[in-house]
Structure 1
Amino acid sequence: MTGSTSTRTTGGPPALVAVAHGSRDPRALSTVTALLDRVRALRPGLPVHLGHIELNAPLLSDTLAALGDGPAVLVPLLIGNGHHVKHDIPGTAAASPARARVAAPLGPHPLLVDALHARLLEAGWPSRPPRDAAVVLACAGSRDPDSRTDTTRTASLLAARLGVPVLPAYASAASPTVPEAVRTLTARGHRRVAVAACFTAPGRFATQTAAAAPWIASAPLGTHPAMARLLLHRYDEAVIPITGGASTRRETTTP
C-alpha cells in the first residue's frame, strides 16, 4: 500500500487513486487495503494508490504529492454524490501537482447492487423471500439532494433485484434514520425487515445501523469482487479524457 513515499511513474496508464473517507475503526483500513489488492489482481500493471479524506494515513493530499505531476484518476469509495465528492476531493486535487480527474462515486450502479445482494444472501436472506419481507438500505447520509437521489436510485435497483420493497435510510445528516425506516416498513405489514449495509468498510455507521435490524443485517460491501470491478469501471469511465480514448483494460480472471 502506498503512502507518502515516492510513487512517481513515467509512461503507462494514469494512476488509480482510491479515495476513502477514513475511520477510527482499524478494520476500515485493512478492508480498503484488501479491496485494492483485488483491484491490482484484476488489472496487473495499473498503479493503484490510496488516499484518505481524513482520520487515516495516507491523506489524499500526501498521496497526490507523491505522484508529482503525473496523471491520476481519483475514484471515491463513496456511495453517492455529496460534499466530499463535489468539493473536498476536487479541492484537494486542484491544490496538488498531479494531473488528476475525479471519477463518479460508486453508486448508483448494477455492480453495487450485485455486492449488496451478495452480502444479504450471506447474512441469511432467502432466495425466495416471503411476502412480508422488506429491506432498509442503510447509508451514511448527506445534506446534498444529489446524494439522496443517488441513494434512492440504488434502493430502486436493489428492490428490482430482490422483488421486495427497499427503503433508503441514513446514519446521519438526513432522514429517515434506520430505526425510523424499520418502523415505517413494519407499520406497512412487513414483519421481516433486513438492513443492507451500503458502506464500503466497517465503522461506526455500519455498526450502529446493523444494531437496528430486527431480522438480519448484512456486512459492509468490503472486498466483494463486484466492488473491485466497480472501482475499475469508474476508473475506465474517467480515464478516457486523460488518455484521449486509449484503453487501459487488461483484466485477469481473478475472482
Structure 2
Amino acid sequence: MTTPPPALLLVGHGTRDTAGAAAFRSFVAELGAASPQLPVGGGFIELSPPPLADTVAGMVAAGVRDFAAVPLVLVSAGHAKGDIPAALAREKLRHPGTSYAYGRPLGPHPGLLAVLERRVDEALAGTDRAAATVLLVGRGSTDPDANAEVCKVARLLWEGRGYAGVETAFVSLAEPSVPAGLDRCRRLGAGTVVVLPYFLFAGVLPDRVREQAATWAAADGGADVRYADVIGPAPELAALVWERYRETLAGDLRMNCDSCVYRVAMPGFEDRVGRPQQPHHHPDDPAHTHGGHGAHGGHSHGHHGEGHPHVHAG
C-alpha cells in the first residue's frame, strides 16, 4: 500500500487582532480547498484560536500520522528557530507514532518581493517611483540575524525597481524605530514616503506602524506619507507555502547558520549560544506543563526568548 504524503501543517504565532487571526484561518482553508487530496491544517502557538494542539489532535483523529510543518512567518527569529520546533516536539510526545518534518520561514523570496512591489504601487497610485522612498517596516527582534534579514529584503526591493530609495525600520525591539526611519528618509531628501509594513496579515503591530507614521506625518506638517497594505493572501504567498512544503519533504532547507546568535557568539549576545528551548504555552491548551523540548533541550524564557534547532522536529 502506498504511504500517503505528509499533511501540510501551517504554524502561526498568533495575534490579539481578530481580523488578523481570521485572515490566517481563511488562508489555511483556501490552501486546503486548492488541494483536497492532501490534509491541510493550521494553528497558533499562542494568543489566537485554534491552538496548534487542537489542530494536530483533530488531524490525528482523522488518521494523519506524518506532518510537514511550515512556519507562516517571514523571518528566522525566535518563533521559527525555537518556539515552533519545540511546540512540534511537544505534539510528538502527545501523539506517539506521529512525525513532524519542519520547514523554513517564508522570506526573503522573489514572490514576496513581487507582492511588496505591488503594495507600493497601490499606495503610489500613479506617482512616479523615482520620486518615492519606501520605508520597509519589520516586526523587530532581539535576534540580530532576524533584523538583518529585513534589511536584506529592503535592499532586494530597491534593486532594479526605480525607487528613490528603500530604508528600513522596526516597530518593536529594534532600531531604527518608525519615527526614526521617517526622520532618516526626510534627511535624505525624500518627498514622498511609502510606509510598507513587512507583515503577512493585519494585526496589532501593522496598526501600530500606521499610527506611528501618521503621528510623525502630522507633526512634520509637510511630508507626503503614503501607507501600503500588508502582504495578505496573495497568490504568490500560496505558491511559496507549497514551495516550502515540497522543500520540507525533500529535506532541502538551506537554513543560514553563519550569523545565528544561537551558534555564533555575536557581540552583546554571547549568552544565547546553545540556549535550549521550550514551546510557548497557548492559553487554550489544557496542558499546564511543557512536556516537549527543542533540539537543545528545554528552558524557561519570556515571550521573546529564542533558540535555534536546525533539525526536523520528528
Query: Where does residue 200 of structure 2 map in the other structure?
Result: 200
Specify whether residues 161 and 206 from structure 1 end up closer, same or farther in structure 2 by C-alpha distance, changes over 3 A only.
Answer: farther
* TM-score, length-scaled by structure 2: 0.69
Once residues 57 and 33 of structure 2 are traced to their aligned partners in structure 1, the CA distance between those partners, rounded to angstroms, is 25
Q: Which residue of structure 1 aligns with residue 154 of structure 2? A: 155
SS of the counterpart of 1:216? strand
Residue 235 in structure 1 maps to residue 245 in structure 2: yes
Contact 1:19 1:75 in 2 (8 A): yes
Match of 2:141 in 1: 142
Q: Percent identity?
A: 33
- Cα distance in 2 for residues equivalent to 1:41 and 1:117: 28
Q: Which residue of 1 aligns with 2:7?
A: 15
| Contact preservation (8 Å) 1:125, 1:216 | no
Q: Counterpart of 2:180?
A: 180
Question: What CA distance in whole angstroms lies between the structure 1 residues aligned with 2:100 and 2:249?
Answer: 10
Give the secondary-structure state (helix, strand or coil) at the position aligned to 1:130: helix
Query: Which amino acid in 2 is paired with 1:193?
Result: V
The C-alpha deviation readout for 1:135-194, integer Å capped at 9, x for no partner, is: 111111111122112111111111115322211211111111111111101101012111
Partner of 1:166: 166
- Distance (whole Å) between structure 2 residues aligned to residue 35 and residue 161 of structure 1: 31
Q: Structure 2 unaligned runs (5+)?
A: 93-97, 218-224, 253-314
The aligned amino acid for 1:129 is: R
1:49 aligns with 2:41: yes
How many residue pairs get matched? 232
CA distance in 1: counterparts of 2:251 and 2:45, whole angstroms: 25
The verdict on how the C-alpha distance between 1:161 and 1:67 changes in structure 2, with shifts beyond 3 A counting, is farther
Point out 4+ residue stretches in structure 1 off by more than 6 angstroms.
none
Any conservation in 2 of the 1:19–1:76 contact (CA below 8 Å)?
A: yes
Q: Residue 99 of structure 2 aligns with which residue? A: 99
Question: 5 Å matches for 1:33-72?
Answer: 33-68=25-60, 70-72=65-67
Work out whether residues 136 and 166 of structure 1, in 8 Å CA contact, stay in contact via their aligned partners in 2. Answer: yes
Distance in 1 (CA, whole Å) between partners of 2:170 and 2:123 is 20
Question: Residues 67 and 41 of structure 1: is their aligned pair in 2 closer, same or farther, counting only changes over 3 Å?
Answer: closer
Change over 3 Å in CA distance of 1:154–1:43 after alignment to 2: farther
Distance 1:96 1:188 in 2: 50
Pairing 1:26–2:18 present: yes
Q: Deviations over 1:64-106 (max 9, x none)?
A: 3334471112211211001100110010111222311221111
1:91 corresponds to which letter in structure 2?
Answer: A
Which amino acid in 2 is paired with 1:195?
Answer: V
Deviation digits for residues 16-70 of structure 1 (CA, Å, limit 9, x no counterpart)? 1111111111101221122223323443422211110211122123323334471
Matches of 2:123 and 2:25, distance apart in 1: 23
CA contact (8 A) 1:141 1:174 kept: yes
Q: Does 2:140 align with 1:122?
A: no
> Could you tell which deviates more after superposition, 173-182 or 39-48?
39-48
Query: Corresponding residue for 1:78?
Result: 73
Which residue pairs with 1:189 in the alignment? 189
Q: Which amino acid aligns with 1:22?
A: G
CA distance in 1, matches of 2:233, 2:160: 21
Separation of aligned partners in 2, 1:161 and 1:126: 18
Indicate the residue corresponding to 2:234 in structure 1: 224
User: 2:124, 2:194 within 8 Å by CA — same for their partners in 1?
Assistant: no
Q: Where in structure 1 are there 5+ consecutive unaligned residues?
A: 1-9, 243-255
